[in-house]
Amino acid sequence: MAELGAHLTAEAAGDDRPSIFEAVAQDSLMAAVKPALLHLVLAESNPGRFGLLWRRFDEVYVLLDLLLQQHYLARCSASFSENFYSLKRIPTGDCKQHPLATAGLPKKQHWKSLLLLILVPYLKGKLEKLVSSLREEDEYSIHPPSSSWKRFYRAFLAAYPFVNMAWEGWFLVQQLCYILGKAQHHSPLLRLAGVRLVRLTAEDIQALEKKLAVAASSPTHSIRTQVQSAVRKALGGIAFSLSTGLSVCVFFLQFLDWWYSSENQETIKSLTALPTPPPPVHLDHGAGSALLPKLKTVCPLCRKIRVNATALSTSGFVFCYRCVYNYVKTHQRCPVTGYATELQHLVKLYSPES
């Protein structure tokens, strides 16, 4: 069995293609950076302070990703994750002599690669958020039953799983063809960009090191050259920080895996057995903030007995579902504390009687 599967990882003579594991690993790397950055930087900090950044995180991340990917495509002919795994992009073809990584991609392939690297994950994430929001509204009947809008988005929700299955199936078929040697690309996006992945050679590494040394030692005379040099150094510093940060994150994830293993269950139980902390003392009682009622069964927004009790995971306070849904959808914050909040932070509560 091992001999039958050896072709998946072994490099054939004269074959510069990366294995399927290298190709899929570099795809997974950038997919893990965004949620890790969101939760480590924003969720663990003061959510009230970063409310605007929390709401516009997708756009801010796209801008940073655009600068990062443009820097690596221009300098290494590869995306950040591909360069991390010592890969590069070359135009699709049967040329035996591959261009060096420092030569860059042709202009057409360069911009197609950049647009597909940036726009496809951004649009896919926005679509998933839209579907999640529509499912929340459909589950709790926020819109009137007879509205034409509800009929439209119910049809959209019914069709989305099949569209998503077709999208994922397209990628799966392409990967199977790549494993069997019937395709040059493991991803349809590479085929659309007109490029394929190959491993970096010793000549590529030497050319990259030489280019970096020349850029560091070359004198700068004009202001334009100095500005370009400063921008390149800043992008290089950001790329180096991300590369180092990813290595630290991998170690941190392995530490968490060890910490939550069966050998440490007693330690975890002792930590989770601590009493529930009290609510925050300094609440944001601004002009638009709701005051807490004296009775715990009363909703702070409508001042009536709660119906469909729903808690906010950002603050812990409980409201009626309709009240807190409409408030969070309009203001993107907790009505009591003012903490930045989204609809995904609503947690439905169920009593034992129900």
Residues 46, 194, single domain; the answer is yes
Question: Is 36 part of any domain?
Answer: yes
Asked whether residue 176 falls in the same domain as residue 51, the answer is yes
**Domain termination site, one of 193, 212, 231:** 212
| DSSP at 319 | E
Q: CB neighbours (10 Å) of residue 209?
A: 11
Domain end among 165, 186, 212: 212
Angle at 335 between CA 331 and CA 339, to 5 degrees: 75
Which of 37-51, 152-166, 266-280 has the highest mean predicted lDDT (pLDDT)? 152-166
Please give the residue that has the higher pLDDT: either 108 or 274: 108
Q: Residue 218 domain-assigned?
A: no
Q: Is residue 162 part of a domain?
A: yes
pLDDT of 2 over the 50 cut: no
Cβ atoms of 72 and 81 closer than 8 Å:
no
300 and 171 in one domain? no
At 14, which helix (H) or strand (E)?
none
Q: What is the H or E stretch that residue 26 is in?
A: helix 20-37
pLDDT at 96: 62
Instruction: Supply the pLDDT for residue 15.
Output: 64
Q: Which CATH number is 321's domain given?
A: 3.30.40.10
Q: What is the mean pLDDT of residues 18-25?
A: 88
Same domain, 203 and 323: no
Looking at every residue in the chain, the average pLDDT score rounds to 76
- Enclosing domain of residue 156: 15-212
**CA-to-CA distance for 187 and 134, rounded, in angstroms?**
30
149 and 49 within one domain: yes
Burial class (CB in 10 A: 0-12, 13-18, 19+), 70: middle
Residues in Cβ contact with 171 at an 8 Å cutoff, skipping those fewer than 6 apart: 187, 188
Does residue 167 have a pLDDT over 70? yes
What is the C-alpha to C-alpha distance for residues 106 and 89, in angstroms, rounded to an integer?
A: 11
- pLDDT for 242: 61
Same domain assignment for residues 32 and 168: yes
Task: Take residue 147 and report the two structure tokens written for it.
Answer: 């509205």
Higher pLDDT, 213 or 330: 330
The single residue listed with the structure tokens 């072709």 is 7
If one counts the domains in the chain, the total is 2
Over 60: is that where the pLDDT of 7 sits?
Answer: no
Residue 143 domain flag: yes
- Is the pTM higher than 0.85? no
Q: Are both 53 and 187 inside the same structural domain? A: yes
Contact 348, 310 (CB under 8 A): yes
Residue 238: the pLDDT is 66
Residue 152 lies inside a defined structural domain of this protein:
yes
CA distance 84 to 80: 6
Domain assignment present for residue 69? The answer is yes
Asked if residue 279 is part of any domain, the answer here is no
Q: Identify whether 307 is part of a domain.
A: yes
For residues 21 and 156, state if they share a domain: yes
Query: What is the C-alpha separation between 283 and 336, in angstroms, rounded?
Result: 7
Does the pLDDT at position 166 exceed 90? Answer: yes
Rounded CA separation 297/302 (Å): 12
Where among 146, 180, 212 does a domain terminate? 212
| Cβ–Cβ < 8 Å for 38, 129 | no
Say if CB 72 and CB 83 are below 8 A apart: yes
